Amino acid sequence: MTLLFFLQLRKPLVEKLRRERINSSIEQLKSLLGPEFLKQQPDSKLEKADILEMTVCFLTQLQQQNQNFPCHCDSLYNNEKETF
Amino acid sequence: MTLLFFLQLRKPLVEKLRRERINSSIEQLKSLLGPEFLKQQPDSKLEKADILEMTVCFLTQLQQQNQNFPCHCDSLYNNEKETF
Protein backbone atom coordinates (compact mmCIF):
# COMPACT_ATOMS: atom_id res chain seq x y z
CA MET A 1 0.00 0.00 0.00
CA THR A 2 2.94 2.35 0.60
CA LEU A 3 4.13 1.87 -2.96
CA LEU A 4 0.61 2.52 -4.25
CA PHE A 5 0.44 5.68 -2.15
CA PHE A 6 3.82 6.78 -3.50
CA LEU A 7 2.71 6.15 -7.09
CA GLN A 8 -0.50 8.08 -6.52
CA LEU A 9 1.49 11.02 -5.21
CA ARG A 10 4.01 10.77 -8.05
CA LYS A 11 1.52 10.77 -10.92
CA PRO A 12 0.45 14.45 -10.79
CA LEU A 13 4.11 15.50 -10.44
CA VAL A 14 5.12 13.52 -13.55
CA GLU A 15 2.13 14.98 -15.39
CA LYS A 16 3.12 18.51 -14.29
CA LEU A 17 6.69 18.03 -15.59
CA ARG A 18 5.34 16.65 -18.87
CA ARG A 19 3.09 19.69 -19.35
CA GLU A 20 5.98 22.02 -18.50
CA ARG A 21 8.18 20.36 -21.17
CA ILE A 22 5.39 20.74 -23.75
CA ASN A 23 4.68 24.37 -22.83
CA SER A 24 8.37 25.28 -22.81
CA SER A 25 8.84 23.78 -26.30
CA ILE A 26 5.80 25.63 -27.65
CA GLU A 27 7.19 28.92 -26.29
CA GLN A 28 10.53 28.20 -27.98
CA LEU A 29 8.78 27.36 -31.25
CA LYS A 30 6.90 30.65 -31.02
CA SER A 31 10.18 32.56 -30.70
CA LEU A 32 11.69 30.58 -33.61
CA LEU A 33 8.82 31.53 -35.91
CA GLY A 34 10.09 35.10 -35.86
CA PRO A 35 8.25 38.41 -35.61
CA GLU A 36 7.41 38.57 -39.32
CA PHE A 37 5.61 35.28 -39.18
CA LEU A 38 3.74 36.10 -36.00
CA LYS A 39 2.43 39.33 -37.52
CA GLN A 40 -0.05 37.20 -39.42
CA GLN A 41 -2.26 37.00 -36.34
CA PRO A 42 -1.88 40.43 -34.77
CA ASP A 43 -5.32 40.86 -33.25
CA SER A 44 -5.76 37.64 -31.37
CA LYS A 45 -3.94 35.96 -28.52
CA LEU A 46 -2.11 33.02 -30.05
CA GLU A 47 -3.25 29.68 -28.73
CA LYS A 48 -0.93 26.69 -28.50
CA ALA A 49 -2.82 25.11 -31.41
CA ASP A 50 -2.18 28.24 -33.53
CA ILE A 51 1.55 28.19 -32.80
CA LEU A 52 1.80 24.48 -33.65
CA GLU A 53 -0.11 24.90 -36.92
CA MET A 54 2.13 27.82 -37.87
CA THR A 55 5.18 25.70 -37.02
CA VAL A 56 3.97 22.90 -39.32
CA CYS A 57 3.50 25.42 -42.12
CA PHE A 58 6.83 27.15 -41.46
CA LEU A 59 8.81 23.89 -41.29
CA THR A 60 7.15 22.57 -44.45
CA GLN A 61 8.10 25.71 -46.37
CA LEU A 62 11.62 25.74 -44.95
CA GLN A 63 12.13 22.13 -46.05
CA GLN A 64 10.70 22.80 -49.52
CA GLN A 65 13.01 25.80 -49.78
CA ASN A 66 15.97 23.59 -48.94
CA GLN A 67 14.92 20.98 -51.49
CA ASN A 68 14.66 23.60 -54.22
CA PHE A 69 17.95 25.21 -53.23
CA PRO A 70 19.93 22.51 -51.43
CA CYS A 71 22.44 24.11 -49.11
CA HIS A 72 24.47 21.55 -47.21
CA CYS A 73 21.42 20.24 -45.39
CA ASP A 74 22.67 16.67 -45.78
CA SER A 75 24.85 17.29 -42.76
CA LEU A 76 21.84 18.24 -40.67
CA TYR A 77 20.86 14.69 -39.83
CA ASN A 78 24.44 13.76 -39.10
CA ASN A 79 24.72 16.64 -36.64
CA GLU A 80 21.49 15.53 -35.00
CA LYS A 81 22.88 12.05 -34.45
CA GLU A 82 25.51 13.54 -32.19
CA THR A 83 23.01 15.69 -30.31
CA PHE A 84 20.57 12.96 -29.30
CA MET B 1 -30.40 29.56 -17.83
CA THR B 2 -30.74 28.15 -21.36
CA LEU B 3 -27.69 30.12 -22.52
CA LEU B 4 -25.72 28.96 -19.51
CA PHE B 5 -26.74 25.38 -20.22
CA PHE B 6 -25.68 25.80 -23.86
CA LEU B 7 -22.30 27.24 -22.84
CA GLN B 8 -21.75 24.41 -20.38
CA LEU B 9 -22.44 21.89 -23.14
CA ARG B 10 -20.26 23.77 -25.62
CA LYS B 11 -17.14 24.01 -23.45
CA PRO B 12 -16.03 20.35 -23.62
CA LEU B 13 -16.66 20.34 -27.38
CA VAL B 14 -14.45 23.42 -27.90
CA GLU B 15 -11.80 21.85 -25.67
CA LYS B 16 -12.00 18.59 -27.65
CA LEU B 17 -11.50 20.45 -30.96
CA ARG B 18 -8.57 22.38 -29.47
CA ARG B 19 -6.89 19.14 -28.33
CA GLU B 20 -7.50 17.59 -31.76
CA ARG B 21 -5.80 20.56 -33.47
CA ILE B 22 -2.81 20.26 -31.13
CA ASN B 23 -2.51 16.48 -31.57
CA SER B 24 -2.89 16.71 -35.33
CA SER B 25 -0.11 19.31 -35.54
CA ILE B 26 2.20 17.22 -33.36
CA GLU B 27 1.61 14.19 -35.64
CA GLN B 28 2.45 16.35 -38.67
CA LEU B 29 5.59 17.67 -36.98
CA LYS B 30 6.63 14.07 -36.24
CA SER B 31 6.31 13.18 -39.92
CA LEU B 32 8.25 16.33 -40.92
CA LEU B 33 11.17 15.40 -38.68
CA GLY B 34 11.93 12.52 -41.02
CA PRO B 35 12.96 8.94 -40.34
CA GLU B 36 16.64 9.75 -39.85
CA PHE B 37 15.85 12.16 -37.07
CA LEU B 38 13.39 9.85 -35.36
CA LYS B 39 15.97 7.05 -35.27
CA GLN B 40 17.57 8.87 -32.34
CA GLN B 41 14.98 7.43 -29.99
CA PRO B 42 14.42 3.93 -31.34
CA ASP B 43 13.67 2.08 -28.12
CA SER B 44 11.03 4.26 -26.55
CA LYS B 45 7.57 5.38 -27.56
CA LEU B 46 7.87 9.06 -28.43
CA GLU B 47 5.87 11.33 -26.19
CA LYS B 48 4.41 14.62 -27.40
CA ALA B 49 7.02 16.45 -25.32
CA ASP B 50 9.82 14.48 -27.06
CA ILE B 51 8.49 15.35 -30.52
CA LEU B 52 8.20 19.05 -29.63
CA GLU B 53 11.72 19.18 -28.18
CA MET B 54 13.08 17.47 -31.30
CA THR B 55 11.17 19.98 -33.44
CA VAL B 56 12.75 22.92 -31.58
CA CYS B 57 16.19 21.39 -32.13
CA PHE B 58 15.50 20.56 -35.79
CA LEU B 59 14.08 24.01 -36.59
CA THR B 60 16.98 25.75 -34.82
CA GLN B 61 19.52 23.78 -36.85
CA LEU B 62 17.60 24.30 -40.10
CA GLN B 63 17.55 28.06 -39.50
CA GLN B 64 21.25 28.14 -38.62
CA GLN B 65 21.96 26.15 -41.75
CA ASN B 66 20.06 28.71 -43.81
CA GLN B 67 21.93 31.59 -42.17
CA ASN B 68 25.27 30.00 -42.95
CA PHE B 69 24.27 29.12 -46.49
CA PRO B 70 21.48 31.54 -47.40
CA CYS B 71 19.30 29.96 -50.03
CA HIS B 72 16.49 32.28 -51.05
CA CYS B 73 14.83 32.04 -47.66
CA ASP B 74 14.03 35.74 -47.77
CA SER B 75 10.99 34.88 -49.82
CA LEU B 76 9.74 32.52 -47.14
CA TYR B 77 8.14 35.22 -45.04
CA ASN B 78 6.62 36.83 -48.11
CA ASN B 79 4.99 33.55 -49.08
CA GLU B 80 3.69 33.16 -45.55
CA LYS B 81 2.03 36.56 -45.70
CA GLU B 82 -0.17 35.26 -48.47
CA THR B 83 -0.94 32.01 -46.68
CA PHE B 84 -2.17 33.47 -43.40
- pLDDT tens per residue, range B35-83: 767 776 665 678 999 999 999 999 988 888 777 655 443 344 344 333 3
Q: Which of A40, A52, A65 sits opposite B84 (nearest CB)?
A: A40
CB B32 within 8 A of CB A60: yes
- Can you give the residue range of the structural domain that contains A35? 2-83
Determine the Cα–Cα distance for residues B3 and B8; give it in Å rounded to an integer.
9
Report the SS3 class of residue A40.
Answer: coil
Q: What Cα–Cα distance (Å) separates residue A81 from each residue in A10, A58, A73, B32, B40?
A: 32, 23, 14, 17, 7
Name the domain count of chain B: 1
Q: What Cα–Cα distance (Å) separates residue A64 from each residue in A57, A72, B76?
A: 11, 14, 10
Q: Does A4 touch chain B (CB under 8 A)?
A: no
Domain of B33: which CATH number? 4.10.280.10
| Mean pLDDT of the region A56-83 | 60
Q: Fill in the amino acid letter for A75.
A: S
pTM, two decimal places: 0.71
Q: Does B23 touch chain A (CB under 8 A)?
A: no
